[in-house]
C-alpha cells in the first residue's frame, strides 16, 4: 500500500511538472525567436502565426487531457487511499477552473476586436498571446487586456504577461 501511495504521488508530481514545462517552453520560445523583450510584453515576428494559436490550444488541451487521464486513473484505482483520491479530484477541479478562465479571457479579448489569442492561466500567473498587426498593441489596448485578465483571475498586474504575435 505504501508503494502505491508513492507511485500515485510520483505520477501527480510528474503531471504537474509536464504541464509547467509545457507552459514554460511556450513562454521561453517567444524570447528566443527574434522576440524583443519589452518587460511584460514580448513581440514575435514568427511566420505562420495563424496556426500558432491552433497549435497552442491543441497542445494545452492535450497536456491537460493527459494529466486528467492520470488523475482519473488514481480516482478509479481501488487501492488508492482517500487522501490521494482527494488530491486527484482537487487537481481535476483546478484544471477545469483554469480552462474556464482561459476560455473567458480569450472570448473577452476577441470581443474587443482582436483576431486571435490564446490564454495560459497558472496557479499564480497568467499569460496571453495575442495576434496584432505591425503596429502592435497600444498602451490602451494592453491596459484593456490586462484589465480583462485581472477581472477573470484576480491576479495582480505584475504576474500577467501579454505577448504580441505580429502578422506576417
Greater pLDDT, 90 or 50: 90
Domain boundaries, the chain: 2-166
> In the predicted model, is pLDDT for residue 80 greater than 80?
yes
State mean pLDDT over 147-162.
96
Mean pLDDT rounded to a whole number for the chain: 80
| DSSP state letters, 55-114 | HHHHHHHHHHHHHHHHHHHHHH-TTS-HHHHHHHHHHHHHHHHHHHHHHHHHHHHHHTT-
CA 136 to chain centre: 22
Using one digit for the tens of pLDDT, what is the confidence trace for 22-66?
656 555 554 444 343 434 444 444 544 447 888 899 999 999 999
CA–CA separation, 168 and 161 (whole Å):
22
CA–CA separation, 130 and 16 (whole Å):
25
Strand 126-132, strand 117-121: pairing: antiparallel
pLDDT band at 129 (very low <50, low <70, confident <90, very high): very high
Would you say the pTM of this structure is higher than 0.75? no
Question: According to CATH, what is the number of the domain 2-166?
Answer: 1.10.287.4300
92 φ, ψ to 5°?
-60, -40
CA nearest 58: which of 26, 83, 85? Answer: 26
Q: Which helix (H) or strand (E) holds 162?
A: strand 160-166
What does the pLDDT read at residue 19? 59
For CA atoms 13, 14, 19, 25, the dihedral sign is positive
CA nearest 102: which of 121, 80, 79, 75? Answer: 121
> In the predicted model, is pLDDT for residue 5 greater than 80?
no
Greater pLDDT, 89 or 35: 89
> In the predicted model, is pLDDT for residue 120 greater than 90?
yes
What does the pLDDT read at residue 35? 41
CA–CA separation, 48 and 44 (whole Å):
11
Amino acid at each position: 500500500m505504501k508503494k502505491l501511495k508513492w507511485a500515485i504521488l510520483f505520477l501527480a508530481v510528474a503531471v504537474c511538472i509536464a504541464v509547467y514545462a509545457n507552459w514554460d517552453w511556450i513562454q521561453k520560445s517567444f524570447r528566443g525567436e527574434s522576440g524583443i523583450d519589452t518587460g511584460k510584453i514580448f513581440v514575435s515576428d514568427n511566420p505562420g502565426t495563424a496556426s500558432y494559436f491552433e497549435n497552442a490550444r491543441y497542445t494545452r488541451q492535450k497536456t491537460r487531457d493527459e494529466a486528467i487521464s492520470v488523475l482519473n486513473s488514481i480516482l478509479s484505482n481501488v487501492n488508492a487511499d482517500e487522501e490521494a483520491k482527494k488530491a486527484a479530484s482537487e487537481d481535476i477541479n483546478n484544471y477545469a477552473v483554469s480552462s474556464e478562465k482561459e476560455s473567458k479571457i480569450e472570448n473577452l479579448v476577441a470581443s474587443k476586436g482582436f483576431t486571435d489569442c490564446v490564454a495560459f492561466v497558472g496557479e499564480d500567473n497568467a499569460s496571453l498571446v495575442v495576434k496584432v498587426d505591425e503596429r502592435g498593441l497600444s498602451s490602451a489596448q494592453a491596459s484593456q487586456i490586462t484589465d480583462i485578465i485581472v477581472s477573470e483571475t484576480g491576479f495582480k498586474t505584475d504576474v500577467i504577461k501579454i505577448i504580441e504575435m505580429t502578422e506576417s
